[in-house]
Structure 1
Amino acid sequence: MTKVLISDKLSPAAVEIFRQRGIAVDVKTGLSPADLRGLIGGYDGLAVRSSTKVTKELLEAAPNLKVVGRAGIGVDNVDVKSATARGVVVMNTPYGNAITTAEHAIAMMFALARQIPEASTSTKAGKWEKNRFMGVELFGKTLGLIGCGNIGSIVADRAHGLKMRVIAFDPYLTEKRALDLGVEKVELDDLIARADIISLHTPLTESTRNILSRAAIARMRKGVRIVNCARGGLLDEAALAEALKSGHVAGAALDVFETEPATASPLFGLENVVCTPHLGAATAEAQENVALQVAEQMSDFLLTGAVANAINMPSVTAEEAPRLKPYMELCRLLGAFAGQQTQARDGVLKRVIIEYEGNAAHLNQRPLTAAALAGLLGPMMTGANMVNAPVLARERGIDVAETVHDRPSEYQTLVRITVDTGGQSRAVAGTLFAGSKPRIVEIKGIKVEADFAPHMLYVTNHDKPGFIGRFGATLAGAGINIATFHLGRAEAGGDAICMVSVDEPVSEDVLAMVRTIPLVVQATTLSF
């Protein structure tokens, strides 16, 4: 039975979802890294929040692990690179706590603008310092959003309700999307120079680390206020503290810190700073939502192959998964054929072109291409699969191109894979018979129809009388039974192809005998 481990506290509703879907689930929270490594080997899925650290060492101890589900937005606690290398899908839940986090950012803006925490503390102490806490309105102020994705766009919507002007820096924000959101898309330097309030809503990556650096803070307008409910490490805390003390920055509100739990910070003790302990997603609704979402996503993947909100793999909806399955298998098998041929000739892959015609041209091609690359690289690289194959290809400088042909096809669907090794180019094409049965229909431009079988021989030869008899006699003499025999040729007397499925693997000795048959140009074994 498929098994999932929940190693951080999740809503009991998540456990119930797994069980209702027929997945065995264990809840074991608070485990030490060593204890978790000792247990993880027996599980297909791991559901976490932020406490569990999914490290390279943990992944190496998990040979059966297929998916890690993070109930939340960030995946800072997951070694995505190592997971990808091992073919483990990493999912998150980017929508479950988006509203909650956005509302917290808005609340922090209000708290900062009106000095609510300090005013509350003062009043509770029996003071009545009405003149001490002079705030500012949010109305009419320019809000600068660094990041305008799921959460940033909600913040923008709420800010419009407060009659604020919103500008946004986000490399992935299109002009059309900016127009739909009612925000002005700007460059980072422009945002820093213009914004009255800057709110961060971007993941922590190498390119965003310290995006609000000492130099950036120095370029901000005097009196700016900064809000960070995204990730610690996006701003230079020491530089911010100095700017707050000098008055260059009027105030800051932080829900996240570079080191968490944050027990010490240069920002602590400053009156114009509001701090909360990473509460962005801390509402009952958000906790329930992300738990339900991660359980549903992991269950769909483990049971049907559907991929939602994956960090390291193309998405496949639950509706698409059963329809795509036979096409993905066709692409994998065609890739495996091309990969075995490339390996047999000691070729170095330079370029791969994957063409889609007919029905395949109207599908989600990203998972199909991933399946083709997994099949192609599998014979040459141990452990290549749909998750890591695109990364492996990119790391090795293999140029991957997709071409979609919107034209009539000889078949209802057709996929062609062409590989270029620098000195030679070869292609193989296939289709689906009866909607689900993969079949080769073309090799190197020669028409030949052959089913895929576990053990096959692929032979190219000159089309002359006598070849078939000698070939059959050679296999018979070696005690090898032929299951199917498929032929194709370019023209009479020209180049020909022979695809033969046999009942057992062909040894190197028998393969050597086949290669000595007159008219044989090339002979290789295939395994599918």
Structure 2
Amino acid sequence: MWIYRGGEGTGCLVGQWRAATQWRRRRHASCALAAMARNVAQADAALKKGKWERNKYVGVSLVGKTLAVMGFGKVGSEVARRAKGLGMQVIAHDPYAPADRARALGVELVTFDEALALADFISLHMPLTPTTSKMLNDESFAKMKKGVRIVNVARGGVIDEEALVRALDSGIVAQAALDVFTKEPPPLDDKLVMHHNVTVTPHLGASTTEAQEGVAIEIAEAVVGALKGELASTAVNAPMVPAEVLSELAPYVVLAEKLGRLAVQLVAGGSGVKSVKITYASARTPDDLDTRVLRAMITKGLIEPVSDVYVNLVNADFTAKQRGIRLTEERFLLDGSPESPLEFIQVQIANVESKFASAMSETGEISVEGKVKDGIPHLTKVGSFQVDVSMEGSLILCRQVDQPGMIGTVGSILGEENVNVSFMSVGRIAPRKHAVMAIGVDEQPAKETLKKIGEIPAIEEFVFLKL
């Protein structure tokens, strides 16, 4: 298995093979859950030693028991679905999981402490990060029901193994089924591995013939996608965002890059950007909205149109720092349902001269704002002017005197030159005052066409922008 590893500021697909195998762990988790509940491994070992101990290995039923799925991503949600089929009550804890997906499976999302307190069985399905390292420790075990059973096919480091041994010895944890360990392979005399109430396997989560073939295919597809510039949630030196969160943010990722591209093209000379403020408006709390990918894509939009540098999720922050660009982020918490990740994104560039100065603020600041409508990025504000135009194709911005016939006049010029208009929106301060017209076009107009638009008496300034 090859792995491409890059240096600082380059891409890296390390970890892609791990992500490709994660969904297959759902099956191993389900097997471990059932085998642990019925003492299959212990009974098998005893019988092979000539012992017939039916009374010793009486198991417990899964029906009616509560399973807490810790990490409700692709693997966790499938384990939950299978557990529901076995007659279990399923709850889940995951700060990133969308409530509608949980409801669709009949699963209740709960807090971490609620999951610990209510569970008869706990199945772990989260990545190993500084936040999740030793997530199950002495303090966590003290909050659990006495006799809880734990399955871990995720990462060994998410459990404090010494604390788990203590919890097993005290009876807080009745049994554990473990496929992963902090150190692999574990020492021969490892207390946890040798514990009589622990069922262990040597990291077999994806060890099937079909799984290995599938992994190879998924890696190839991931490499092709990365080379096409598509987002990869599994590069270890890029912002680590769960795949399901990345999927939910996908249209906002496109919006973020387009806002960056739009903003920098409004800067006179196309350079000189040093201070950028990004505002996210959302009903979700900061802990429930990871904006690192969005920040990286805004950076990509700001830098690529005015340089020969290729910016990606891995090198975005590094490239911005190299170019002396300071990015700050602000979150505006809205009231209401957090079903949608974001209401709008605003990008402000301070202390620059603008190509479209009259539409911007008088403080040397460029400001553009957008939102996602029906999955499509829209530009909703330019400076102080409200507009509503799809950010597909390219854009013509005109500052003009608000008067009758302007839309028709500009549209006729574009039509005569066979330039198709996709959207048109006008924002104005007041009737018959100044206005901004935003025109989405499918093709780039010729210079002569743009010159004709600029010669319309009511148009005071205009700019053509590639998105």
Please, what TM-score do these two structures have when normalized by structure 1? 0.55
Output the amino acid matched with 1:142: T
Shift in Å at residue 308 of structure 1? 5.8
Residue 163, structure 1, aligned to residue 87, structure 2 = yes
Residue 396, structure 1, aligned to residue 396, structure 2 = no
Which residue in 2 is equivalent to 1:419?
Answer: 348
- Are 1:335 and 1:417, in contact at CA under 8 Å, matched by a contact in 2? no
- Specify the SS of the correspondent of 2:191: coil
Output the amino acid matched with 1:156: A
Shift in Å at residue 427 of structure 1? 6.1
Residue 374, structure 1, aligned to residue 300, structure 2 = yes
1:483-508 Cα distance to aligned partner (Å, 9 max, x none): 9996959989xx977999xxxxxxxx
| Structure 1 segments unaligned to the other structure (5+ residues) | 1-5, 9-45, 47-53, 74-92, 354-365, 402-415, 450-482, 501-528
Which residue in 2 is equivalent to 1:131?
Answer: 55
Shift in Å at residue 129 of structure 1? 2.4
| Residue 223 of structure 2, aligned match among 267, 280, 298 | 298
Q: Report percent identity of matched pairs.
A: 36
Shift in Å at residue 161 of structure 1? 1.9
Which residue in 2 is equivalent to 1:286?
Answer: 211
- Specify the SS of the correspondent of 1:350: strand
1:332-381 Cα distance to aligned partner (Å, 9 max, x none): 7645434665754x75323579xxxxxxxxxxxx9999666324245999
C-alpha distance in 1, partners of 2:112/2:331? 33
C-alpha distance in 2, partners of 1:352/1:126? 69
Shift in Å at residue 272 of structure 1? 0.5
Output the amino acid matched with 1:350: K
- Structure of larger gyration radius: 1
1:398-418 Cα distance to aligned partner (Å, 9 max, x none): 4599xxxxxxxxxxxxxx996
Equivalent residue runs for 1:103-502 within 5 Å: 103-263=27-187, 265-303=190-228, 305-307=229-231, 312=239, 334-338=262-266, 341=269, 343-344=271-272, 348-351=275-278, 373-377=299-303, 385-387=311-313, 396-398=327-329, 419-421=348-350, 423-426=363-366, 441-442=397-398
C-alpha distance in 2, partners of 1:371/1:211? 31
Distance 1:295 1:338, change over 3 A: same
- Are 1:204 and 1:233, in contact at CA under 8 Å, matched by a contact in 2? yes
- Are 1:241 and 1:266, in contact at CA under 8 Å, matched by a contact in 2? yes
- Are 2:293 and 2:313, in contact at CA under 8 Å, matched by a contact in 1? no
C-alpha distance in 2, partners of 1:104/1:297? 24
Distance 1:397 1:496, change over 3 A: same
- Are 2:396 and 2:463, in contact at CA under 8 Å, matched by a contact in 1? no
- Specify the SS of the correspondent of 1:385: coil
Distance 1:380 1:389, change over 3 A: farther
Distance 1:395 1:141, change over 3 A: farther
Shift in Å at residue 274 of structure 1? 0.9
Which residue in 1 is equivalent to 2:18?
Answer: 72
Shift in Å at residue 386 of structure 1? 4.1
Shift in Å at residue 255 of structure 1? 0.7
C-alpha distance in 2, partners of 1:418/1:171? 27
Task: State the number of aligned residues.
Answer: 357
- Are 1:373 and 1:390, in contact at CA under 8 Å, matched by a contact in 2? yes
| Structure 2 segments unaligned to the other structure (5+ residues) | 281-291, 333-344, 352-362, 369-381, 383-388, 414-446
- Are 2:299 and 2:316, in contact at CA under 8 Å, matched by a contact in 1? yes
